[in-house]
Amino acid sequence: MDIKSIKTDADYHAALNEVETLMTAEPNTPEGEKLDVLVTLIEAYERKHYPPDLPIPLKPSNLEWNRKV
């Protein structure tokens, strides 16, 4: 199994392409194990480089129940 850490966007996209070729791999096979490792590395890279957007806090004046009718 030839797997290296994902350090650059090029590494990231190469890993995504490799995952695409392994999507039909059976669990507990060398290909399935490689898929598991690559997905874990990709998730770690995404958490670091593409953090989810934080929700915008609502102001009480914007809440429906706070409006005067």
pLDDT mean for each 10 residues of the chain (69 residues) = 91 97 96 97 95 76 57
Q: Give the residue from 41, 37, 7, 5 showing the smallest Cα distance to 22.
A: 37
CB under 8 Å to 42, separation ≥6 — which residues?
A: 6, 12, 15, 16, 19
pLDDT computed for residue 60 by the predictor: 66
* Helical residues (DSSP H) of the chain, grouped into ranges: 9-22, 30-49
**d(Cα 45, Cα 20) in Å, to the nearest integer?**
17
pLDDT computed for residue 17 by the predictor: 97
* Domain limits, the chain: 1-69
pLDDT computed for residue 53 by the predictor: 81
What letter would DSSP give residue 41?
H
pLDDT computed for residue 12 by the predictor: 98
Q: Whose structure tokens read 């290909």?
A: 31
- pTM above threshold 0.85: no
pLDDT computed for residue 28 by the predictor: 95
